[in-house]
C-alpha cells in the first residue's frame, strides 16, 4: 500500500521543528543586529570601553545586552536552519557551514558576559583599578580562545552557507550574495576603523538575507529546493562542492 504521507504522530513535532528553526533563522540575526547597533564600545582600550559604557544611554545599553543574550541562544539554531534546505544540493557546503556556524556562535554567550561585565564596571564607584581587571579578563587564554572561535567560525559559516543556499536555489540570488559578502565586509570594517560602518552594514545584510531563508524553512522545504536544484544541474554530480 503506498505511503500516504507522514504519520499524524510525527506531524506536530515536524511542524514545531520547522517553526522553531524558522524563528531562529529570522529572529537571531535581528537580535544580533540590535545588540551590535546599540553597543557603545566596539574595540578600544579597557579605559575607553568602560568610559563609553558610563556615557551611554542606560536603556539602549541594556537593549544591546538583551539583544546579544537572545542572539547567543538562537544563532546556533539558526545555523542548522540555514543548512538544512541546502543539504541535498550542497551536502558538504551545508554540513560544514552548519557545523562551523554552530561552533562559531557558541562563544557569543561568553562574549556577551564580557559586555555585561564592562557595563557593570562603568556603573561602579571609583577607587578600583577596573581597566586592569578588564584587560586581564579579556586578554586571558579563555576569552581569546572564545574570541578566535567566534570570529573565524561565524565568518566562515556565512560564506559556506550562502554558497550552499545559492547552489540549492533555496533563497534568491541576492540573498545568498548578501550573506556571502557580509563576512569580508565585517573583516574590512574591523581592520580599517574608518570603514567601521561596514560592520553594521554586514549585520543588517545578514538579517535581510535570512528572511527568505526563514520563509523556506517555515514552508517546510526540507530539501525540496535542493532536489529541484540538483535536477536542474543534471549532468553534474549534485554532491560535488
Along the 241 residues of the chain, how does pLDDT read in single tens digits?
445 555 566 788 888 999 999 999 999 999 999 999 998 877 767 788 888 888 888 899 899 999 999 999 999 999 999 999 998 889 999 999 999 999 999 999 999 988 888 888 888 776 667 788 888 888 889 999 999 999 999 999 999 999 999 999 999 999 999 999 999 999 999 999 889 999 999 999 999 999 999 999 998 755 555 555 555 555 555 444 4
- How many other C-beta atoms lie within 10 A of the C-beta of residue 192? 10
Q: Where are the alpha helices (DSSP H) in 84-196?
A: 91-105, 108-122, 130-138, 141-168, 173-191
In a domain? residue 241: no
Number of domains in the chain: 1
In a domain? residue 12: no
Q: For residue 185, what is its C-alpha cell?
A: 565586509
In a domain? residue 110: yes
Which residue's C-alpha cell is 544580533?
A: 32
**pLDDT 10s digits, 164-200:** 999 999 999 999 999 999 999 999 999 998 899 999 9
In a domain? residue 7: no
Give the pLDDT of residue 67: 96
Give the pLDDT of residue 171: 94
Please give the residue range of the domain that contains residue 135.
Answer: 20-232
In a domain? residue 128: yes
Give the pLDDT of residue 224: 54
Give me the sign of the Cα torsion angle 204, 210, 211, 212: positive
Give the pLDDT of residue 50: 81
Which residue's C-alpha cell is 550552499?
A: 164
Give the pLDDT of residue 136: 83
**pLDDT 10s digits, 121-138:** 888 776 667 788 888 888
In a domain? residue 4: no
Give the pLDDT of residue 197: 93
Give the pLDDT of residue 238: 45
Amino acid at each position: 500500500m503506498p505511503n500516504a504521507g507522514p504519520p499524524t504522530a510525527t506531524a506536530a513535532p515536524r511542524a514545531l521543528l520547522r517553526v522553531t528553526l524558522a524563528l531562529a533563522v529570522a529572529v537571531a540575526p535581528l537580535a544580533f543586529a540590535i545588540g551590535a547597533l546599540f553597543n557603545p564600545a566596539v574595540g578600544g582600550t579597557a579605559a575607553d570601553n568602560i568610559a563609553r559604557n558610563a556615557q551611554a544611554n542606560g536603556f539602549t545599553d541594556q537593549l544591546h545586552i538583551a539583544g546579544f543574550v537572545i542572539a547567543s541562544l538562537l544563532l546556533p539554531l539558526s545555523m542548522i536552519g540555514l543548512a538544512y534546505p541546502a543539504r541535498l544540493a550542497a551536502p558538504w557546503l551545508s554540513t560544514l557551514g552548519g557545523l562551523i556556524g554552530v561552533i562559531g556562535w557558541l562563544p557569543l554567550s561568553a562574549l556577551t558576559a564580557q559586555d555585561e561585565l564592562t557595563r557593570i564596571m562603568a556603573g561602579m564607584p571609583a577607587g578600583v583599578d577596573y581597566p586592569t581587571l578588564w584587560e586581564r579578563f579579556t586578554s586571558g587564554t579563555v576569552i581569546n580562545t572564545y574570541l578566535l572561535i567566534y570570529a573565524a567560525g561565524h565568518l566562515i559559516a556565512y560564506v559556506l552557507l550562502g554558497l550552499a543556499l545559492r547552489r540549492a536555489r533555496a533563497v534568491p540570488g541576492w540573498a545568498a550574495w548578501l550573506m556571502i559578502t557580509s563576512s569580508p565586509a565585517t573583516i574590512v570594517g574591523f581592520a580599517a576603523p574608518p570603514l567601521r560602518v561596514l560592520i553594521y552594514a554586514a549585520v543588517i545584510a545578514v538579517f535581510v538575507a535570512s528572511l527568505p531563508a526563514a520563509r523556506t524553512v517555515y514552508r517546510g522545504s526540507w530539501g525540496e529546493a535542493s532536489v529541484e536544484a540538483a535536477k536542474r544541474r543534471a549532468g553534474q554530480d549534485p554532491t560535488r562542492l
